[in-house]
Chain A
């Protein structure tokens, strides 16, 4: 029996040349069709593209409330009889979302719960619509609200009335109820696959590999495609049209892997181009200036002019060194190297020695500086310190001897 260099019979090899690409093509078309069908039926499209806000993402600005697991419990209204729980700093297009589904417990007589939002064009003017529980679905048609338009920059709930029990906000879910046309679907699939991911601080932890809310997540789609290839080939084997060997299965997997890697390599090259644009042909100092925290580095360069050339001891004070200002104080410390920096303070240090430096990043509510007395003051401490340098970014002090 004639065999080729792969060990397969020549007849099998020539058949594979046609059969395998055909199986791949049929499988690819089937995958696209399956995704289209999946999003065409039921609420799959609306659920996939929904923007879900759990209660614990809301902040109570008026009244009193408490986070309980994923939910928010609004426990008390203000003296004006109202409580606000909202999220701000968001940007989403009102056109994208046409329905609100909400999960809220604690509806009671004499208490009105409104869905509230603010738009970019009129952020100070809060819009509202009352939420009414129903037996089948707690849904609100946002298209019916004339002020649901433009860019939404904040949203949440307003509770009005006398609360006898807490109002528990579990979830607010914005949905796209209108399904796109076929070509728009295909366009979305294409944009999912041509999405270019850039490096972020999370890249060493995980690679997302697709846009948020992708309709056709790439890795599962390729895995599905390979599974279909397997199924079709096995079907052909059971009907005795092809032999059972590892060849086609190996080819299917390697092709799938190559598709993913080609896409990933394309992402890497694009990222490399932007890296070169951002940092190429620059000195180490210029690179840091061109970095994400270039402004901070610029400030540290100024500060360094007032520090001794030899490494010295320096305290950094920020408002919330373990959470909110962690990045700021860590980067500042890194830029200040090789100075010996203690960066974990949110108040004046208890232990220091004259000649130590103190770098203060605003805002720090309790910290004050008395220029005449050359004293730094907070709730617990008064420290003699000389202001060395000050800008809007921060202030540098040099610690003095304690008065006898």
Chain B
């Protein structure tokens, strides 16, 4: 049991210590980003040890993590210095009913997470991909204490029949990070145990809440407003299902991508080096989690590269992009063979990326799954109604506020990618069958909720009176 606690604490502490050294000072951001980066680093450590031919043992990994934590503490003089007295003082000066509401909302969130914890603890691995894909690999790896490769059917049949040469997995090309997280927990627990392996899903949900709250607090400076929007995010039924029915990678993808994107926007707003670091580190890990993580990462690049380009070159950059796009279209697209990966096709009628899949491009609109899933069924509460309302009402503000425009560009590129996928490619079948339409939109949901918060904040600022969620600046 002690080693299970260490399996949770060590990666977390590692992330917190090194982010503290990197200049992150807000406690909720430290805890949230610290956990995510710590656990993802641990998966890389497991891969590194395996590639060195070492047996995967918990004591060895724990020792290495402890050493890294020790060095981090040694290097970080300001680790235990807390500079939050100002915000605490401002917090204390808020009216009583703010404290009361804050407490009530917090209790509401805690009640939800208590339920998720019990559900994860009691229920054996349940959803489909969890036991066909993600949860298969860690059991085998735990048995052999090495990262036995998983291959497709043809490769399996062509193997030399040695037991550990290869195992069959239909989704053999899915990135291993989520399975490695389960392996890490199993190594800590000392045996394969479905509930223990799934415990990080609960922690991922907590990290999402903490990260969202921390970033919202930094952006708005208002604890109650930040917490209310955190509650709105954490109450979305589909997100709840992905915590309670642990085992899918989508919760991780949503958390990592969205928190990376929010950190990027914070960096664009404040040029805070710590936020840039969070965006960079978490953004780079997108590809470790799901195949489409690379695409999600790409949606951040236009805004990031525009921001990094000196102002006088931006128009030229835009012009260059438009010319390149026209040339690409005129030329009928292009294809290129990447060593070790295969051929990539980016053509107007066909997009094919190794490990991601082939998509024949043809416009065939079918809006019914969108309308049904977003506005009728119970997956989202009122999320899409409210978001659209906020965008429409805040449109004049968006048109005139540079930061809102940038934020809108980021969420638009993510949404455009999803709508392109579901309306222009064969993925429309996934939408028609309701199998992945919600899950893929879940990846961008925390970012969209943050966008909603910023729009609400902008509207509140122009409102003749303030509203019940407003407080004095306290961050």
Binding site for B on A (CB under 8 A): 5-9, 12, 197, 199, 201-210, 217-220, 222-223, 226, 243-247, 250-251, 253-254, 256-257, 260-261, 264-265, 268-269, 271-272, 275-276, 279-280, 284, 287-288, 291, 311-313, 330-331, 333-334, 337-338, 340-344, 349-351, 353
Which residue of chain A has the shortest Cβ distance to B194 in the bound complex? Answer: A284
- With the chains together, A346 CA to B242 CA distance in Å? 34
Tell me which of B127, B161, B235, B379 contacts A261 (CB under 8 A). B235
Q: Across the two chains, which residue of chain B brings its CB closest to A343?
A: B168
Q: CA A243 – CA B463 in complex, angstroms? A: 11
The complex places the Cα of A135 from the Cα of B95 at a distance, in Å, of: 72
Besides A197-B378, A246-B460, A338-B144, 20 new A-B residue pairs in contact (Cβ under 8 A), listed by A number: A5-B98, A7-B465, A203-B245, A204-B250, A205-B435, A206-B434, A206-B437, A207-B237, A219-B381, A243-B464, A246-B459, A246-B465, A256-B382, A257-B232, A257-B235, A257-B381, A260-B382, A268-B115, A311-B163, A338-B140
B375: contacting residue among A220, A245, A253, A353, CB under 8 A: A220
Q: Are B136 and A250 in contact (CB under 8 A)?
A: no
Most buried by B among A9, A222, A223, A353: A223
Interface of chain B residues 139 through 187 with chain A (CB within 8 A): 139-140, 142-144, 153, 156-157, 161, 163, 167-168, 170
B12-20, B270-278, B466-474 - the one binding chain A: B466-474
Please list the residues of chain B having a beta carbon within 8 angstroms of any beta carbon in chain A: 95, 97-98, 111-112, 115, 118-119, 122-124, 126-129, 131-132, 135-136, 139-140, 142-144, 153, 156-157, 161, 163, 167-168, 170, 193-194, 228, 232, 235, 237-238, 240-242, 244-245, 248, 250, 373, 375-382, 385-386, 434-439, 459-460, 463-470
Given A207-B379, A219-B382, check contact A268 B244 (CB 8 Å).
Answer: yes
Q: Which residues on the B side are within 8 Å of A203 (C-beta)?
A: 127, 241, 245
Q: What's the Cα separation between A353 and B112 when bound, in Å?
A: 52
CA distance A9 to B194 in the complex (A): 56
A268 and B240 contacting across the interface, CB-CB below 8 Å: yes
In the complex, how many angstroms separate the beta carbon of A377 from the nearest chain B beta carbon?
21
B467's partner among A9, A247, A265, A344 (CB-CB below 8 A) is A247
Contacting pair A341 B168 (CB below 8 A): yes
B113 to chain A, nearest CB (A): 11
B119 touching A275, Cβ below 8 Å: yes
Q: List chain A residues, Cβ under 8 A from B161.
A: 313, 353
CB–CB A245/B467 < 8 A: yes
Q: Contacts A5-B95, A205-B439, A344-B153: A272 and B115 contacting too (C-beta < 8 A)?
A: yes
B157–A351 touching, CB < 8 Å: yes
Residues of A within 8 A of B128 (CB): 201, 204
CB distance from B192 to the nearest CB of A (A): 8
Contact yes or no, A342 B157, CB < 8 A: yes
Task: Give complex CA distance A312, B459 in Å.
Answer: 64
Which residue of chain B has the shortest Cβ distance to A248 in the bound complex? Answer: B467
Does the CB pair B434–A205 fall under 8 Å? yes
Contact yes or no, B469 A287, CB < 8 A: no
* Residue numbers in A under 8 Å from B248 (CB-CB): 204
Tally A-B pairs: CB < 8 A.
Answer: 189
CB distance from A47 to the nearest CB of B (A): 16
Report yes or no: B386 in contact with A253, Cβ–Cβ below 8 A. yes
Is the beta-carbon distance between B241 and A6 smaller than 8 angstroms?
no
- Give the most central of B153, B242, B376: most A CB within 10 Å: B376
Residue of B nearest to A286 (CB): B124
Contacts of A206 in B (CB 8 A): 238, 373, 377, 379, 434, 437-438
CB distance from B199 to the nearest CB of A (A): 14
Q: In chain A, what residue has the closest Cβ to B160? A: A353
Compute how far the CA of A239 lies from the CA of B237 in the bound complex, rounded to whole angstroms. Answer: 39
A205 with B438: in contact, given A264-B381, A287-B124, A342-B157 (CB under 8 Å)? yes
Can you offer 16 A-B residue contacts whose CB atoms are under 8 A? A206-B437, A207-B379, A208-B377, A217-B376, A246-B460, A260-B378, A260-B381, A261-B235, A275-B119, A284-B193, A284-B194, A313-B163, A331-B131, A337-B139, A338-B139, A344-B170
**Is there an interface contact between A265 and B439, defined as CB atoms closer than 8 Å?**
no
Tell which of B111, B377, B460, B469 touches A265, judged by Cβ atoms closer than 8 Å.
B111
B153 engages A208 (CB within 8 Å): no
Complex Cα–Cα for A203 and B240 (A): 10
C-alpha spacing A287/B198, complex, angstroms: 15
B242 CB contacts on chain A under 8 angstroms: 204
Provide the bound-state CA to CA distance between A338 and B139, in Å. Answer: 6
Given known A-B contacts A245-B463, A280-B122, A311-B143, A342 and B115 have beta carbons under 8 A apart: no
Which chain B positions have C-beta within 8 A of A209?
Answer: 237, 377-379
In the assembled complex, the Cα of A77 lies from the Cα of B283 at a distance in Å of 63
For B157, the chain A residues whose CB sits under 8 A away are: 342, 349-351
Q: Which residues of the other chain, A, contact B459 by a CB distance below 8 angstroms? A: 246
Closest A residue to B114 by CB, please name it. Answer: A272
Q: Which of B97, B167, B245, B434 contacts A199 (CB 8 A)?
A: B245
**Is there contact, CB below 8 Å, between B463 and A204?**
no
Contacts of B163 in A (CB 8 A): 311-313, 340
Give chain B residues whose Cβ lies under 8 Å from the Cβ of A9: 465
| Chain B proximity of A296: nearest CB distance (Å) | 12
Contact of B464 with A244 in the complex, beta carbons under 8 Å: yes
Closest residue of chain A to B383 (Cβ to Cβ) is: A257
Cα of A223 to Cα of B123 in the assembled complex, Å? 34
> What are the 4 A-B residue pairs with the smallest beta carbon separation, nearest first?
A209-B378, A7-B466, A338-B143, A245-B465
Given A220-B376, A257-B381 in contact, is the A204-B127 Cβ separation under 8 Å? yes
Asked if A219 contacts B377 (CB within 8 A), the reply is yes
Contacts of A8 in B (CB 8 A): 465-466
Residues of chain A contacted by B143 (CB below 8 angstroms): 311, 338
B167 and A340 contact, CB distance less than 8 A? yes
> Smallest CB–CB gap between B465 and chain A, Å?
4
Closest to A220 in B: B376
Within the assembled complex, what's the spacing in Å between the Cα atoms of A276 and B118? 8
Rounded to whole Å, the gap between the CB of B386 and the closest CB of chain A is: 6
With contacts A246-B460, A264-B235, A264-B378 known, is A284 near B124, CB below 8 A?
yes
For A210, list chain B residues within 8 Å (CB).
Answer: 377-378
Given contacts A206-B379, A257-B382, A279-B122, contact A243 B434 (CB under 8 A): no
- A260 CA / B375 CA spacing, docked (Å): 13
Measured CA separation A244–B228 after assembly (Å): 22
Question: What residues of chain A lie closer than 8 Å to B232, measured between beta carbons?
Answer: 257
Q: Please measure, in the bound complex, the distance between the C-alpha atom of A217 and the C-alpha atom of B373, giving whole angstroms.
A: 12
Q: Which residues of A contact B193 (CB under 8 A)?
A: 284
Assembly CA distance A204 to B434 (angstroms): 10
Contact A218 B378 (CB under 8 A): yes
